[in-house]
Amino acid sequence: MDKLIIKGGGPLSGEIRISGSKNSALPILAATILADSPIQIGNLPHLNDVTTMLALLRSMGLAITLNEKMTVEIDANTIKEYTAPYELVKTMRASILVLGPMLARYGEANVSFPGGCAIGSRPVDIHLRGLEAMGAIIEVDEGYIRARSNGRLKGASIFMDTVTVGGTENLLMAAVLAEGRTTLQNAAREPEIVDLANCLVAMGAKIEGIGTDTLIVDGVESLHGCHYKVMPDRIETGTFLAAAAATRGRVKLKDTSPGLLEAVLVKLEEAGAVITSGDDWIALDMEGRRPKAVSLKTAPYPAFPTDMQAQFTAMNAVAEGTGTVVETIFENRLIQIHELNRMGAKITLEGNTAVVTGVERLNAAPVMATDLRASASLVIAALVADGDTVVDRIYHIDRGYECIEEKLQMLGVNIRRVPG
């Protein structure tokens, strides 16, 4: 099992390119099942989760061609198998996203219950109830969701009692080929859902209300191929900005979009960062200053994202003053705090609230990643620690960050990967 060894001390400085969004790429790859002609998807990040999703589609018989620029061409007409097997699904929660498209196009889907990060309960019952409202017959049998429909799915009015990104994506993909109109109320509004909806429209879908909490879908008989470019990764963008702020550095991030993470940029400015931006770049300069502690509360988009909470907790650990971090989305998302405290952080945990009192520097220690974003927070902590920090179980970080050590090296960090 690979480890990262990071020598802390200096500020981040330099320019890097931001990769395509993992959380956008995965549903868009699932959506290729809906197209009746080949579809090209560009700007895919080179990540384990993307590789797993492509392997899942390939295992079902889809014809996949990938070029060196990470543009993939997918032809779903060669599908032979309507099962997403446990061996692939167990490693990645997003595998559940093939359920809606398969059911909508082929009237059949067998999907193993998903795995992924251990950050709390994320039930799929909203996905299943919504599909049943559209006429699907669903059984849960030996760890598999077995779904059928007699003919086309039927449009329905669906109110989701909890805001769910995956549920919104699955039901949106099912609705585009359903007969009649589907209304999805209390839909998630994340930019990744907007990206998926825009891709579906490029394939011929009829969707109104994109970017709002009510999506109105008029089903069509078929969707066609197109060429679509995945949006930039707003969480990778935020992670490198938080790392630069924690280290009192200055960075310029290219091929990204400032409009995707306004809640994060506001908090970075509150921490003392000077931020400038253009259409496709963001620059942050701490002007050598230590960050100021910020308080935040996670909530669904457009509020502060849960996927950035761990990174800001790490920044607060070396900030001036005391910040309060409240996690409202996942009950185990503050799990990284015990590892940060082992590095000398002063963080107390009270239920779903972390009270972080900043210290001048952290101390290097062997630490272990527990999930994707927690591992990013440990990397940030290592950057502001005296000595060499060893971060173990970095397969978590490889699920969400493309070439993290190469990008950090470009920003002046002494970092290397070693086999475990």
SS3 75: strand
Cβ proximity of 250 and 227 under 8 Å: no
Given 117, 199, 226, 403, which residue is catalytic?
A: 117
Cα radius of gyration (the chain): 21
Q: Dihedrals φ, ψ of 189, to 5°? A: -115, 10
The residues near 164 (Cβ < 8 Å, ≥ 6 apart) are 126, 127, 188
- Element housing 131 (H / E): helix 125-133
Cβ proximity of 183 and 214 under 8 Å: yes
Q: Could you please report the per-residue DSSP string of 4-72?
A: EEEE--SPPEEEEEPPBPHHHHHHHHHHGGGBSS-EEEES----HHHHHHHHHHHHTT-EEEE-TTS-E
Cβ proximity of 53 and 95 under 8 Å: yes
Cβ proximity of 295 and 312 under 8 Å: no
CA 49 to chain centre: 10
The residues near 281 (Cβ < 8 Å, ≥ 6 apart) are 252, 253, 254, 255, 256
Reference 29, options 40, 20, 18; nearest CA is 40
Catalytic status, residue 199: no
- List the catalytic residues: 117
